């Protein structure tokens, strides 16, 4: 006897479907609520493949590429589509998906040099596969069988990463006749993967781009930012030199109890960046008076600014710091966002006239009384804090808008040294599973917010969308006009962050809207062995997040 089951969609509609109907078929009834093809279902607050069959009464929602969840799935799906297309055209070639860059990913080819014409051929092959309506099929297999399979295929990056996963079964995905390991979800079929671009960079490297959540309509042209790209490339090269290019390489070192060596190497690499930048500033000391440091949330700006001061002082420069926060306008004058809430991230929340007047006076050698912003009263106060610059004095200004010249419009470019900082993660899970820079920052912030603000993981995850919107608006557009880039990623940090973040993620309730994202991050962290934090130096940038920093006020 046929059985019909009720499905409640967002409390907007309730429909009945025959038991055993796939959520792909069910999604067609609600596609009208979405601007783009539906990619995945959320069934009773659990992310669920569209191929899954309906078995019980449930609440359901869906995601398309305009959402954070949907865009992540779109990204994995288009990356898999690209690897399959490459395999069809060049069976002996291998692609390594290296890192995120300008709304896309940089990919490097092994065993193949490619021209712009051949890259276009690859893009056209992807379009052909899109039109073939190929199904992304999830297959649950015994982990040891998966290892044996990939060993026969000589895909040793998969063999190594699966060695350190404790699960009895792992999920593989099949597209056409190609199998691959992915720990995240995929679209139902290539039908939904209808927009992407490949951009030639060099004979063995290109960028794969797709629509992003800020522009889901279409794929924007890739904009090359040489300094950021070179920073990624440099760190990738360094990782190869120390024989750690992916999670399995790191896990192997940890399993042998040699993680202290990696901690020391990573910290020394970070320190070398600060030393080189301090030298650049010293060489330009006749002109540079203001060092502007900016980067996205959880990049480690605070610790980096303090450590950079030490390096500058070691070269004989006297350093001072100015907090942009102290130049906030009075609270009642703060602009509001579209929800009627105070927008403290807006450039207009800063008294630009006063700030620039003070910078100009400092540049001219005048004494300035600096303000202190009282966050309780919402007003500026003056507490007899004065500053006057001498010949070899440098002011470090760390804040959200540091790269935007409008913040320091009264100061000539020659007097400014702009630094962009971010954790440009070089490490990958394997050749086809990259580590998102934003995931590293998200985990850092979850740990820090819990330690310093008492927030739980769900609180931080809920804030992340607004945090990212601010970064897209106020930081990333200004990456091109910079003097230096600091990569704050540490080779070992995900192993340490796992020990702090994983329990916090497990605490997210199953009925919380952030539960699916918490599960995604838990699955991501399963690829890493834990690393004790005991040997992390007190002045490490990681201490800014896990606590115990030597720079913390006593």
CB atoms within 10 A of CB 148: 13
Give per-residue pLDDT as tens, 475-513.
Answer: 988 988 999 999 999 999 999 999 999 999 999 999 999
SS (H, E, C) 440-451: HHHHHHHHHHHH
Give the up-direction half-sphere exposure of residue 443: CA atoms within 13 A in the CB hemisphere. 26
Q: Work out whether strand 4-9 and strand 13-18 pair parallel, antiparallel, or are unpaired.
A: antiparallel
Q: What is the pLDDT of residue 210?
A: 97
552, containing H or E segment: none
Structure tokens at 193: 């993967």
pLDDT of 114 strictly over 60? yes
Give per-residue pLDDT as tens, 257-300.
Answer: 999 999 999 999 999 999 999 999 999 999 999 999 999 999 99
Give per-residue pLDDT as tens, 292-324.
Answer: 999 999 999 999 999 999 999 999 999 999 989
Residue range(s) occupied by CATH 3.10.20.30 in the chain: 4-64
Q: Which percentage of the chain shows pLDDT scores above 70? A: 100
> DSSP code of 512?
S
Q: Using CA atoms, how far apart are residues 223 and 477, in angstroms rounded to an integer? A: 11
Structure tokens at 388: 């006057």
Task: Give first-to-last CA distance, the chain, whole Å.
Answer: 72
Residue 163: burial class (beta carbons within 10 Å; 0-12, 13-18, 19+): middle
Give the dihedral of Cα atoms 103, 106, 112, 117; nearest 10 deg: 30
Band (340; pLDDT cuts 50, 70, 90): confident
Give residues with Cβ within 8 angstroms of 486, minimum separation 6.
273, 274, 277, 295, 304, 419, 420, 421, 422
Q: Phi and psi dihedrals of 20, rounded to 5?
A: 95, -5
Give per-residue pLDDT as tens, 190-200.
Answer: 999 999 999 99
3-state secondary structure of 370: strand
Residue range(s) occupied by CATH 3.30.980.10 in the chain: 69-224
Distance of CA 1 to the CA centre of its chain: 50
Residue range(s) occupied by CATH 3.40.50.300 in the chain: 235-546
Q: What is the pLDDT of residue 167?
A: 86
Residue with tokens 């007003």: 379
CA angle centred on 412, ends 411 and 418, rounded to 5°: 85
Q: Using CA atoms, how far apart are residues 202 and 265, in angstroms rounded to an integer? A: 30
pLDDT of 554 strictly over 60? no
34, containing H or E segment: none
Is 497 in contact with 271 (CB distance < 8 Å)?
no
Q: What is the pLDDT of residue 229?
A: 85
pLDDT of 344 strictly over 90? no
Band (516; pLDDT cuts 50, 70, 90): very high
Is 233 in contact with 115 (CB distance < 8 Å)?
no
Q: Which residues pair with 142 in a beta bridge?
A: 169
Q: DSSP states of 14-28 as a string?
A: EEEEETT-BHHHHHT
CA separation (Å) from 515 to 67, 79, 447? 16, 25, 17
Give per-residue pLDDT as tens, 24-45.
Answer: 999 999 999 999 999 999 999 9
Is 261 in contact with 253 (CB distance < 8 Å)?
yes
Q: What is the pLDDT of residue 305?
A: 94
Distance of CA 383 to the CA centre of its chain: 39
Give per-residue pLDDT as tens, 369-409.
Answer: 999 999 889 999 999 999 999 989 999 999 889 999 999 99
Band (426; pLDDT cuts 50, 70, 90): confident
Give the up-direction half-sphere exposure of residue 136: CA atoms within 13 A in the CB hemisphere. 32
> DSSP code of 35?
S
Mean pLDDT of 174-186: 93
Residue 82: burial class (beta carbons within 10 Å; 0-12, 13-18, 19+): buried
**CATH assignment of 235-546, given 3.40.640.10, 3.30.450.20, 3.40.50.300, 3.30.1120.10?**
3.40.50.300
468, containing H or E segment: helix 457-474
CB atoms within 10 A of CB 363: 16
CA separation (Å) from 10 to 5, 20, 42, 51, 61? 16, 21, 10, 20, 6
Q: Mean pLDDT over all residues of the chain? A: 94
Query: CATH assignment of 4-64?
Result: 3.10.20.30
What are the respective helix, strand and coil percentages of the chain, to the nearest 5?
A: 40, 25, 35
3-state secondary structure of 173: strand
Q: What is the pLDDT of residue 225?
A: 85
Q: Which residues pair with 6 in a beta bridge?
A: 16
Give the dihedral of Cα atoms 533, 535, 539, 544; nearest 10 deg: 0
Give per-residue pLDDT as tens, 65-89.
Answer: 999 999 999 999 999 999 999 999 9
Residue with tokens 């969840």: 69
Q: Which residues pair with 256 in a beta bridge?
A: none
Q: DSSP states of 290-342 as a string?
A: EEEEE-STTS-HHHHHHHHHHHHHHTT-EEEEEEGGGGBPPGGGS-B-TTS-B
Least confident of 11-15, 348-352, 424-428, 454-458: 424-428
Query: CATH assignment of 69-224?
Result: 3.30.980.10
Q: What is the pLDDT of residue 553?
A: 63
Report field, pTM of the whole predicted structure over 0.85: yes
Residue 463's nearest CA partner among 447, 488, 446, 448 is 446
Alpha-helical segments (H) within 112-155: 116-131, 143-152
Residue 346's nearest CA partner among 477, 469, 218 is 469
Q: Phi and psi dihedrals of 291, rounded to 5?
A: -100, 120
Give residues with Cβ within 8 angstroms of 545, minimum separation 6.
298, 300, 444, 445, 447, 448, 451, 497
SS (H, E, C) 203-246: CCEEEEECCECCECCCCCCCCCCHHHHHHHHHHHHHHHHCCCCE
CA separation (Å) from 239 to 202, 265, 383, 425, 440? 21, 10, 48, 10, 17
């Amino acid at each position: 006897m046929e059985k019909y089951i009720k499905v409640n969609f967002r409390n907007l509609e309730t429909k009945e479907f025959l038991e055993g109907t796939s959520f792909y078929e069910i999604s067609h009834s609600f596609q009208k609520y979405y601007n783009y093809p539906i990619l995945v279902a959320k069934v009773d607050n659990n992310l669920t493949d569209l191929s899954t069959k309906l078995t019980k009464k449930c609440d359901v929602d869906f995601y398309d590429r305009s959402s954070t969840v949907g865009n992540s799935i779109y990204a994995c799906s288009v990356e898999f589509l690209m690897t399959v297309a490459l395999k069809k055209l060049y069976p002996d070639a291998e692609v390594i998906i290296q890192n995120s860059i300008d709304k896309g990913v940089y990919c490097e080819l092994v065993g193949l040099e490619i021209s712009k014409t051949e890259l276009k051929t690859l893009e056209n092959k992807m379009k052909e596969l899109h039109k073939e309506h190929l199904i992304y099929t999830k297959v649950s297999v015994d982990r040891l069988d998966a290892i044996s399979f990939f060993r026969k295929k000589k895909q040793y990056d998969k063999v190594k990463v699966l060695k350190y996963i404790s699960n009895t079964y792992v999920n593989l995905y099949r597209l056409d006749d190609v199998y691959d390991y992915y720990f995240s979800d995929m679209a139902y079929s290539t039908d939904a993967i209808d927009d992407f671009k490949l951009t030639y960079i060099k004979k063995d490297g290109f960028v794969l781009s797709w629509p992003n959540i800020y522009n889901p309509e279409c794929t924007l042209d890739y904009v090359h930012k040489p300094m950021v790209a070179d920073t990624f490339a440099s760190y990738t090269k360094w990782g190869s030199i120390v024989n750690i290019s992916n999670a399995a390489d790191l896990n192997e070192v940890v399993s042998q109890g040699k993680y202290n060596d990696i901690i020391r190497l990573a910290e020394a690499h970070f320190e070398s960046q600060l030393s080189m930048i301090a030298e650049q500033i010293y060489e330009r000391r006749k002109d540079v008076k203001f060092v502007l440091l900016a980067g996205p949330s959880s990049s480690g700006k605070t610790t980096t600014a303090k450590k950079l001061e030490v390096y500058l002082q070691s070269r004989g420069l006297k350093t001072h710091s100015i907090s942009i926060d102290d130049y906030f306008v009075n609270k009642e004058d703060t602009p509001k966002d579209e929800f009627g809430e105070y927008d403290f991230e807006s450039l207009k929340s800063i008294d630009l006239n006063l700030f620039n007047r003070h910078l100009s006076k400092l540049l001219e050698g005048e004494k300035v009384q600096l303000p202190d912003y009282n966050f309780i009263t919402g007003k500026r106060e003056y507490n007899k804090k004065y500053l006057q610059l001498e010949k070899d004095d440098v002011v470090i200004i760390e804040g959200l808008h540091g790269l935007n010249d409008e913040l320091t419009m009264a100061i000539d470019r020659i007097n400014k040294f702009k630094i962009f900082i971010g954790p440009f993660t070089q490490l990958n899970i394997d050749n086809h599973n990259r580590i998102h820079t934003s995931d590293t920052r998200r985990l850092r912030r979850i740990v820090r917010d819990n330690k310093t603000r008492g927030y739980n993981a769900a609180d931080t995850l809920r804030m992340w969308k607004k945090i990212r919107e601010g970064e897209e608006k106020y930081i990333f557009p200004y990456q091109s006009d910079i003097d230096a880039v600091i990569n704050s990623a540490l080779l070992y940090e995900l192993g340490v962050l796992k020990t702090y973040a994983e329990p916090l993620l497990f605490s997210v309730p199953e009925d919380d809207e952030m539960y699916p994202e918490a599960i995604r991050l838990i699955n991501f962290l399963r690829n890493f062995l834990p690393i004790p934090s005991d040997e992390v130096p007190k002045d490490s940038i990681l201490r800014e997040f896990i606590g115990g920093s030597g720079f913390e006020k006593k």
